[in-house]
């Protein structure tokens, strides 16, 4: 079989290519001819391209070898990004033309097909080609691969062009363990009419380079370093696509092919910078500029393809570094910091134009690419704005820092990173891996720059430790939420393996079917094969203990795919109900399913048992999980690049978190989301499950970027409307069989955070309850708003008529207080049922309630001002409790005391605060009468016990030498009715005190 494999890798250096054919080969022609040769002429099966992130292998962040996608059938490293741009074909991303055979193609056939393609359709001269083979390794006990040498001879290759090499060059290994074997390579001499250049093969010369590598996978490398022959031998061949295109067209470097020239021309056109001049000489004045052209073109390709393949910068450290480096270089091309993102985004469209015909997902996901780059640019720019602008001062103290300002670096970033290094480490002589990671993530510093800064600071820096930290952070970001039992899964697996416990067959978890308006979940008759208690493997466990039970088969669903595990019972039929395990949680470690719970009676390994799941909870999870898929499918219709970051499915609700790359979910979009989902429910769409292997996943399948899927038996859940796919996800969860079984549904909550939009939704009885609550809330809010309008008219009439009638005034105040009580009642209902109300209803109600409350505040302010003014008419002093103070958003007593010209003391209650303010005009302040003395008369009444006071604030405002005003605030836990009573008593005492100063004069 053959495949076009997108790889992230860098290769060795070389400069000019002097070979040229008579045919003008476009990149698409080369790719097409390669595929036709193997498919049409050599009976290979074509496999679509492997994505950059391997979905079944978390040990590598990117595919870096064509066989990665077949790793498990046969039984990753990431290179230096800083070297890109120095030569003509050093890349972060390149395409691999690959062919594979799993036990059906021998060495001779593989060599023949490769030789025939190069010398036939591609027209390369055999005289310019050299081949290598494995020369053996005595320490490994491997003899020379003379079989391959003889094959090349039979194909007509001269002995002087057949060269043996050792393990480092001609024995291929994926890693420290795993499939491996000898390889043979085809090298090409780029210098015309040269003979006997064999000495330059594998010698690091740029004019004679490797073209095609054929790996014969015959062994498996074990952990102890030994080799075990594989039952079947396999062939993996790979040829660098960009290198071949450049070779066939006789151009100087890969950057001169039609894969890169449109990008380089676009950079020149958009930026207006000097044109690209093809310089690879570091002494040339144009080298730095040309290197930047190459880096930006290269990085634009990687970013476009990676993001289109759901590899996102915030999940992959090195991709974010590449993106930030590309943004810095784009800024330099555009001439101003923070202006380069549009250039990089525009380049992504050129990449899509170049590659979408063979990789259609790039064109389909271009909007996702553009949105992601734009959002990451906003994040990076925000970070850079926070950097200190003191580069000049730093360079004065450390002139060596100036040398770090290579083209593409950033003064503010270097400044911030350098200061962080020295402020955090202080006198420490070593830059810690955690600090180095922070410098990368926050300031975009590469390992090379961190190392140089460490030297300038007199500190040491370990690249190896830094890479370990990178890997640790990457693994942390990819970990799914684990239960408390799964945390020690490795030790459990070892324990169960050593005890020779039988593996669990849990396929019965998918054994259910619709029955009437419900589903039938057959129980399973099985045996106990293992018991875990207190971290040990036991033969039996006694009643009252908490233990984990392993069965040889089960229908319990274990926690996985974001879905909560089943609950239920494991019963021993022969005990007449006396022996049972109440299962509270189920987890899977390795191939063992462990049921955790409380044991009643004594359970022994070998006991025959029956499993019974909690059907209501399982059914609720199934409804909610299918709803989760419909939510994701609808989000994909509404947004360009919704990245699902979390999924939590339990019986009560489903909770989904999406990274929308800077966008926020609006109310209108929530409405569209609900309508789309309801449409799918109303249409009663079938939901189906089927299994595929990792390289046969259907196009358009949603897979999570930080999830690891099995190589075989990946479950695909389809929701279809006729032949049209509504939703297609890789998922191990349990689902209903028709969308109609979701029943009622509603989105109950939307939480907008800095990084994600979180959606909570309900189905079934929970959604029905939310519907009832929503109807109640809508009715109450509508009634409340009508009440507000009516009271507003009453207040308007009171003020406009300037009524002095006490009864009219009191009835108006009572109406305001009543409508405020209605508000409090609605507020309480909303708080108590916040997760059991439709989000759209809740949001609309919140808007209405806020508008109504604003009206209440406005009415209370106007009525209070009217009240105080009426009190002050013809009065020598005013002592008054403000009856509407509870209806105000805040109490500014100073505002109301200014309405009175004479002595005034106002009392107010607001929430759990009691407020008092008094003012005495300067002209009547005396030793016997001032604000302090007046306030002291009422404090003992307001604060009657130490337990009343939570907080006091006794302060003066605008005091001169004489005491004019005093304000007092205290918080109390005592009931409102009692605090109001104390205010009235305080009013009496205050009036009595001030009356002595105004004997015979009028008070209000």
- Indicate where the chain has its CATH 2.40.30.130 domain(s): 486-613
Q: What pLDDT band is residue 52 in, cutting at 50, 70 and 90?
A: low
Q: 772 CB contacts (<8 Å, ≥6 apart)?
A: none
**pLDDT reported for residue 429:** 80
CA distance 693 to 712: 4
DSSP state of 732: -
CATH topology of domain 757-873: Methane Monooxygenase Hydroxylase; Chain G, domain 1 (1.20.58)
Mean pLDDT of the region 765-776:
95
Q: Which of 359-373, 554-568, 631-645, 932-946 has the lowest mean pLDDT?
A: 932-946
Tally of CB atoms within 10 A around 386: 9
580-589 and 592-600 beta bridge pairing: antiparallel
List the CATH code of the domain at 486-613. 2.40.30.130
162-165 and 129-134 beta bridge pairing: parallel
- Indicate where the chain has its CATH 3.30.980.10 domain(s): 621-743
Type and span of the H or E element at 910? strand 904-910
Tally of CB atoms within 10 A around 608: 11
Mean pLDDT of the region 919-942:
88
CA distance 173 to 107: 18
**pLDDT reported for residue 470:** 77
- Say if residues 429 and 459 touch (Cβ distance below 8 Å): yes
CA distance 191 to 664: 58
- Choose among 468, 467, 450: nearest CA to 459: 450
Mean pLDDT of the region 200-220:
89
Does position 768 have pLDDT exceeding 60, yes or no? yes
Query: Angle 764-801/839-872 helices, nearest 10 degrees?
Result: 20
Q: 178 CB contacts (<8 Å, ≥6 apart)?
A: 71, 74, 75, 220, 221
Instruction: Determine the distance from the C-alpha atom of residue 971 to the mean position of all C-alpha atoms in its chain, rounded to a whole number.
Output: 44
Q: What pLDDT band is residue 9 in, cutting at 50, 70 and 90?
A: very low
**pLDDT reported for residue 950:** 39
Half-sphere exposure of 771 (CA within 13 A, CB side): 11
CA distance 611 to 506: 12
Does position 171 have pLDDT exceeding 90, yes or no? yes
- What CA–CA distances, in Å, run from 280 to 190, 293, 298, 469? 17, 12, 16, 34
Longest dimension (CA), the chain: 132
DSSP state of 639: S
Report the range out of 90-99, 371-380, 767-776 with the highest average pLDDT: 767-776
Tally of CB atoms within 10 A around 401: 20
- Say if residues 164 and 196 touch (Cβ distance below 8 Å): no
CA distance 864 to 862: 6
- Indicate where the chain has its CATH 3.30.930.10 domain(s): 2-256
Q: What pLDDT band is residue 489 in, cutting at 50, 70 and 90?
A: low
The tens digit of pLDDT for each residue in 795-849 reads 999 888 887 788 888 999 999 999 999 999 999 999 999 899 999 999 999 999 9
Half-sphere exposure of 407 (CA within 13 A, CB side): 19
Mean pLDDT of the region 84-107:
79
DSSP state of 430: B
Query: Angle 287-308/341-355 helices, nearest 10 degrees?
Result: 70
CATH topology of domain 621-743: 3.30.980
Helix, coil or strand: residue 250? coil
Q: 310 CB contacts (<8 Å, ≥6 apart)?
A: 51, 53, 643, 703, 705
CA distance 412 to 583: 57
Average pLDDT score, the chain = 84
CATH topology of domain 2-256: BirA Bifunctional Protein; domain 2 (3.30.930)
**pLDDT reported for residue 535:** 80
**pLDDT reported for residue 16:** 40
Helix, coil or strand: residue 960? coil
Q: Which of 103-117, 239-253, 259-273, 476-490 has the lowest mean pLDDT?
A: 476-490
Phi, psi dihedrals of residue 580, rounded to the nearest 5°? -160, 155
Query: Angle 806-832/764-801 helices, nearest 10 degrees?
Result: 160
Instruction: Determine the distance from the C-alpha atom of residue 63 to the mean position of all C-alpha atoms in its chain, rounded to a whole number.
Output: 21
Helix, coil or strand: residue 176? coil
Q: Which of 451-465, 510-524, 550-564, 725-739 has the lowest mean pLDDT?
A: 451-465
Instruction: Determine the distance from the C-alpha atom of residue 671 to the mean position of all C-alpha atoms in its chain, rounded to a whole number.
Output: 24
DSSP state of 867: H
CA distance 573 to 436: 61
**pLDDT reported for residue 296:** 95
**pLDDT reported for residue 945:** 60
Q: Hey, what long-range contacts does 105-109 have (CB within 8 A, 24 or more apart)? A: 105/235, 106/233, 106/235, 107/147, 107/148, 107/151, 107/184, 107/214, 107/216, 107/235, 108/151, 108/154
**pLDDT reported for residue 75:** 32
């Amino acid at each position: 079989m053959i495949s076009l494999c997108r790889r992230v890798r860098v290769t060795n250096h070389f400069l000019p290519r002097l070979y040229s054919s008579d045919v003008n080969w476009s990149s698409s022609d080369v790719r097409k001819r390669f595929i036709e040769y193997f498919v049409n002429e050599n009976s290979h099966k074509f496999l679509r391209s492997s994505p950059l992130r391997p979905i079944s292998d978390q040990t590598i962040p990117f595919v870096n070898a064509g066989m990665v996608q077949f790793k498990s059938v046969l039984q990753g490293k990431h290179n230096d990004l800083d070297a890109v741009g120095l030569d003509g074909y050093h890349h972060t991303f390149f395409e691999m033309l690959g062919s594979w055979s799993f036990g059906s193609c021998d060495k001779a056939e593989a060599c023949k097909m490769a030789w025939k393609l190069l010398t036939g359709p591609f027209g390369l001269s055999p005289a310019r080609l050299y081949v290598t083979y494995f020369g053996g390794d005595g320490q490994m006990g491997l003899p020379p691969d003379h079989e391959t040498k003889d094959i090349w001879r039979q194909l007509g290759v001269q002995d002087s062009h057949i060269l043996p090499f050792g393990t480092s060059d001609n024995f291929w290994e994926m890693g420290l363990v795993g499939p491996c074997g000898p390889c043979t390579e085809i090298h090409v001499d780029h210098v015309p009419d040269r003979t006997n250049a064999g000495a330059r093969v594998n010698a690091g010369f740029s004019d004679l380079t490797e073209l095609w590598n054929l790996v014969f996978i015959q062994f498996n490398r074990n952990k102890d370093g030994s080799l075990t022959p594989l039952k079947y031998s396999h062939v993996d061949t790979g040829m660098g696509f960009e290198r071949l295109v450049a070779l066939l067209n006789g151009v100087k470097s890969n950057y001169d092919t039609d894969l890169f020239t449109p990008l380089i021309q676009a950079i020149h056109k958009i930026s207006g910078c000097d044109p690209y001049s093809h310089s690879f000489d570091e002494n040339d004045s144009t080298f730095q500029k040309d290197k930047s052209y190459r880096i930006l073109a290269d990085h634009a390709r990687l970013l476009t393809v990676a993001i289109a393949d759901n590899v996102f910068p915030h999940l992959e450290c090195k991709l974010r570094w590449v993106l930030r480096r590309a943004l810095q270089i784009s800024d330099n091309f555009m001439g101003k910091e923070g202006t380069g993102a549009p250039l990089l985004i525009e380049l992504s469209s050129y990449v899509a134009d170049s590659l979408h015909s063979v990789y259609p997902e790039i064109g389909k996901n271009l909007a996702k690419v553009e949105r992601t780059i734009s959002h990451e640019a906003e994040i990076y720019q925000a970070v850079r704005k926070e950097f200190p602008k003191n580069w000049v001062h730093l360079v004065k103290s450390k002139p060596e820092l100036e040398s770090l300002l290579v083209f593409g670096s950033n003064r503010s970033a270097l400044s911030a990173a350098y200061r962080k290094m020295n402020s955090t480490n202080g006198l420490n002589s070593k830059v810690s891996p955690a600090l180095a990671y922070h410098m990368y993530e926050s300031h975009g510093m590469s390992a090379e720059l961190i190392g140089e800064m460490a030297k300038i600071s007199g500190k040491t820096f370990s690249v190896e430790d830094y890479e370990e930290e990178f890997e640790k952070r990457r693994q942390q970001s990819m970990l799914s939420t684990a239960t408390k039992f799964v945390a020690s899964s490795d030790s459990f697996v070892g324990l169960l393996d050593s005890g020779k416990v039988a593996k669990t067959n849990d396929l019965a978890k998918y054994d259910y079917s619709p029955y009437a308006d419900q589903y039938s979940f057959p129980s399973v008759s099985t045996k106990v094969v293992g018991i875990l208690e207190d971290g040990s493997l036991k033969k039996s466990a006694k009643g009252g203990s908490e233990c984990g039970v392993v069965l040889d088969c089960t229908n319990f669903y274990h926690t996985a795919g974001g879905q909560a595990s089943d609950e239920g019972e494991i019963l021993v039929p022969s005990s007449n109900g006396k022996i049972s395990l109440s299962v509270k949680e189920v987890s899977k470690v390795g191939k063992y399913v462990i049921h955790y719970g409380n044991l009643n009676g004594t359970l022994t390994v070998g006991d025959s048992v029956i499993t019974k799941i909690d059907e209501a909870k399982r059914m609720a999870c199934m409804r909610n999980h299918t709803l989760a898929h419909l939510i994701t499918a609808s989000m994909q219709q509404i947004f360009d690049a919704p990245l699902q970051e979390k999924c939590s499915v339990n019986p009560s609700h489903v909770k989904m978190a999406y990274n929308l790359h800077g966008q926020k979910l609006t109310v209108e979009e929530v409405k569209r989301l609900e309508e789309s989902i309801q449409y799918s429910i109303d249409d009663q769409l079938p939901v189906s499950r089927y299994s595929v292997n990792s390289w046969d996943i259907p196009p358009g399948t949603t897979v999570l970027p930080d999830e690891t899927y099995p190589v075989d038996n990946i479950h695909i859940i389809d929701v279809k409307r006729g032949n049209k796919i509504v939703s297609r996800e890789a998922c191990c969860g349990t689902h209903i069989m028709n969308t109609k079984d979701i029943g009622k549904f509603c989105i109950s909550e939307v939480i907008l955070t800095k990084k994600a939009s979180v959606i909570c939704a309900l189905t079934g009885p929970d959604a029905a309850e939310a519907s009832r609550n929503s109807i109640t809330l809508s009715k109450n809010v509508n009634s409340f708003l009508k009440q507000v309008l009516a009271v507003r008219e009453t207040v308007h009439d009171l003020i406009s008529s300037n009524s002095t009638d006490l009864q009219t005034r009191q009835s108006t105040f009572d109406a305001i207080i009543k409508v405020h009580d209605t508000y409090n009642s609605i507020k309480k209902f909303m708080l108590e049922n916040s997760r059991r109300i439709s989000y759209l209803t809740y949001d609309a109600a919140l808007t209405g309630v806020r508008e109504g409350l604003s009206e209440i505040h406005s009415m209370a302010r106007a009525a209070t001002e009217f009240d105080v003014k009426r009190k002050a008419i013809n009065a020598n002093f005013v002592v008054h409790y403000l009856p509407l103070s509870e209806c105000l958003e805040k109490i500014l007593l100073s505002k109301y005391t200014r309405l009175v010209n004479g002595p005034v003391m106002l009392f107010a209650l607001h929430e759990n605060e009691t407020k008092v303010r008094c003012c005495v005009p300067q002209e009547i302040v005396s030793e016997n009468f001032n604000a302090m003395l007046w306030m002291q008369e009422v404090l003992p009444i307001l604060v009657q016990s130490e337990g009343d006071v939570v907080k006091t604030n006794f302060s003066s405002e605008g005091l001169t030498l004489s005491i004019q005003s005093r304000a007092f605030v205290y918080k109390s836990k005592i009931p409102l009715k009692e605090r109001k009573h104390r205010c009235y008593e305080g009013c009496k005492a205050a009036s009595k005190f001030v009356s002595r100063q105004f004997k015979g004069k009028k008070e209000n």
